[in-house]
Amino acid sequence: MTAAPGRDLPASLRSTSMPVEAVAEPLPVSAASLDAQLLDLVFDRAPMGVMVFGADLRLQRINKTEVGFFEHYFRVPPGAIAPGAHVYDLLPGSEDVVTPLFEHALAGRVVRQAAVRVDVPGGVTYWDVVFAPLFADGEVVGVVDITTDATDRVLSLQRLEDRITAFTAIAAGMTVDQPLDVTLREVVARVLATTPAVGCSIVSWADDRAPAPVAHVGEGAAPGLGDALARTLTAGWERLVGTPEEPAVTRIERRRGFRARALADPLFEPVWPFWREAAWDDLLVVPLSSSGRTFGELHVALPSAAHLDEDDEAYLVALADQAAVAAQNAALFGSAAQSATVVERQRLARELHDSVSQALFSMTLHARAAERHLAAAGIGAGEPVAEQVSRLRELTAGALAEMRALIFELRPGALAEEGLAAALGKQAAALAARTGVPVDVAVPADRVPVPPDAEEHLYRLALEALNNALRHAGATRLAVELTVSGGELRLAVADDGVGFDPALARPGHLGLSTMRERAAAAGGRLVVRSAPGRGTRVEVTVPLG
């Protein structure tokens, strides 16, 4: 397992302003005036902490809520907070935070600030504060400090932002050209950064009937841990993983005391050197499942005291689902690369459409729903968390466009079925999604009658021109045009890149020789217009009929 970085605050720490369940306490009958009773109730029963200080910054009075804050966060025993204590003694190490607030109040100003950070033993807290002056005979004689515990609110928002960032980073890498190991290591890193885990790994396999597991661990893992995990899983495959018909793990499962049991089980001997001194006790196992198949398991190592709520578990399941989609994508694409038969390519295209494409489409819908929820919660489009959700939606939409283009390439006869215009549109959308470079497409609404052989050459020529513009021209915008006029078809690919002088001899430059050969094979002629600093336009004209 990979060791997790330190955290500011234990996951179990929550706001102490109000009890979760209703608490009823008897209130003694009072003979004081109504104003005095109201003042006492507000001071001692309100869910805000209140402290009164003299001009010398020494405590004069403190309410019960504030005492509770000190007992909970600073671990002080009941009754230890007494009048006369200096604020710097009450909040050691917080001088840089509280001094400016007191200076405002002592100057006769009321100051308000949200989410003020105060370090406490073992973590941090956040407070919404009001500091106000107290007057006597026209002079400031003290300061009242009113605080509301904002720790849970701030940490919850931070956790949400961290998790959206995690989904965004993983989605950004879910492309057909990124190795599976890179994606799964990213999932491991995000689990360690956004949960109470002290260790994490993913074990994946391409075929659950022929075990050859590969362990993916984080950058900080001890050398050899991944191989030891893979050997252990291979040796105890049916016991630890099960069979496709009866998998050992079908849903998220926390195995308490797992490390102690594993250290007494000879099956786990390969990992004993790595686990003997580890700082975790329990193992959370989440299957990587998609389309009825299991592609691996996410293993999360936790201390016995670590608490995971329903949101935490749902988050880990969602990460495992992303990992499963990546694993399935890699498996299907690997099969496609190894198989050239028409039937097999058709099957793979269907599976990619029915599984991975649908999963990416679902992720896009979830991202849009998250945007609506954030808007309903008053979090504007300019806020970091809203920008991350928007980026996540763009990435998943881009991945979906790229997957559709891949499916098109896999399907035998797809070009003949859908036509040149539709094929160019799909490839342009995928290219724009993958690179971030806009591609303007202008093609006829109706299918252009092009001979099949010529259609294939024109399609490949256009792809060559687009890819060369990105590789060599430094283009920031591309355009694809397909027109029919006067018995001729004209296909053009233009870019706003650095351009070049076509009159200069440049063997192999921009793949021009290949494109000329394709244009000739399609029965047409190729014209290249370019100049240094003025972009490039590659145009092929083919007679029809």
Among the listed residues 211, 217, 260, the one whose alpha carbon sits nearest the alpha carbon of residue 240:
211
What range defines the domain where residue 202 resides?
155-376
The answer to whether residue 415 is domain-embedded is no
The answer to whether residue 164 is domain-embedded is yes
pLDDT by residue for the chain (545 residues), tens only, comes to 444 443 444 433 344 555 656 667 787 877 777 877 777 777 777 889 999 999 999 999 999 889 989 988 888 887 788 899 999 999 998 999 999 999 999 999 999 999 999 998 888 999 999 999 999 999 999 999 999 999 988 988 888 888 888 888 887 777 666 788 888 989 999 999 999 999 999 988 865 554 568 888 877 788 899 889 988 988 887 788 776 667 778 899 999 999 999 999 999 999 999 999 999 999 999 999 887 788 889 999 999 999 998 889 999 999 998 888 888 877 777 666 555 455 565 566 555 555 565 666 567 666 777 777 777 777 777 777 777 777 777 777 666 666 666 665 555 455 667 788 888 888 888 778 777 889 999 988 888 888 777 888 898 898 888 888 887 788 899 999 999 888 889 999 999 988 888 776 454 444 677 788 888 888 888 998 988 888 999 999 998 86
Same domain, 221 and 354: yes
Same domain, 238 and 361: yes
Using the 3D structure, point to which of 376, 400, 425 is the last residue of a domain.
376
In the DSSP assignment, the letter for residue 271 is G
Helix, strand, coil share of the chain (percent; to 5): 45, 20, 35
Same domain, 200 and 317: yes
Give dist(CA 435, CA 478) in Å, integer: 11
Same domain, 127 and 196: no
Same domain, 141 and 173: no
Task: Note whether 507 and 456 are within 8 A (CB).
Answer: no
Same domain, 296 and 340: yes
Q: How many domains does the chain have?
A: 3
Same domain, 322 and 218: yes
Give dist(CA 82, CA 74) in Å, integer: 15
The answer to whether residue 85 is domain-embedded is yes
User: What single letter denotes the amino acid at residue 47?
Assistant: P
The answer to whether residue 335 is domain-embedded is yes
Which class for 113: exposed (0-12), middle (13-18), buried (19 or more C-beta within 10 A)? Answer: middle
Residue whose pair of structure tokens reads 């027109």 in the numeric block: 483
CATH number at residue 223: 3.30.450.40
The answer to whether residue 272 is domain-embedded is yes
In the DSSP assignment, the letter for residue 269 is G
The answer to whether residue 226 is domain-embedded is yes
Using the 3D structure, point to which of 340, 355, 376 is the last residue of a domain.
376
Same domain, 134 and 176: no
Task: Note whether 428 and 480 are within 8 A (CB).
Answer: yes
Beta bridge partners of 240: none
Contacts 24+ apart (CB under 8 A), 260-269: 267/232, 267/235, 267/236, 267/239, 267/240, 268/232, 269/232
Task: Note whether 206 and 11 are within 8 A (CB).
Answer: no
Using the 3D structure, point to which of 130, 149, 168 is the last residue of a domain.
149
The answer to whether residue 7 is domain-embedded is no
Give dist(CA 463, CA 408) in Å, integer: 14
Same domain, 361 and 444: no
| Residues contacting residue 148 through CB under 8 Å, at least 6 positions apart | 17, 47, 48, 49, 127, 128, 129
The predicted pLDDT at position 276 comes to 93
CATH number at residue 521: 3.30.565.10
| Residues contacting residue 24 through CB under 8 Å, at least 6 positions apart | none
pTM greater than 0.75 (yes/no): no
Task: Note whether 57 and 86 are within 8 A (CB).
Answer: yes
Residue whose pair of structure tokens reads 């050239």 in the numeric block: 340
Same domain, 317 and 450: no
98 phi-psi bin (left φ>0, alpha ψ -120 to 50, beta other): alpha
- Helix or strand holding residue 116 (H, E): strand 111-120
Same domain, 203 and 251: yes
Same domain, 170 and 306: yes
The answer to whether residue 25 is domain-embedded is no
Among the listed residues 335, 345, 356, the one whose alpha carbon sits nearest the alpha carbon of residue 410:
345
Tell me the Cα Rg of the chain. 32
Give dist(CA 80, CA 32) in Å, integer: 29
Can you spell out the DSSP letters for 310-325?
A: HHHHHHHHHHHHHHHH
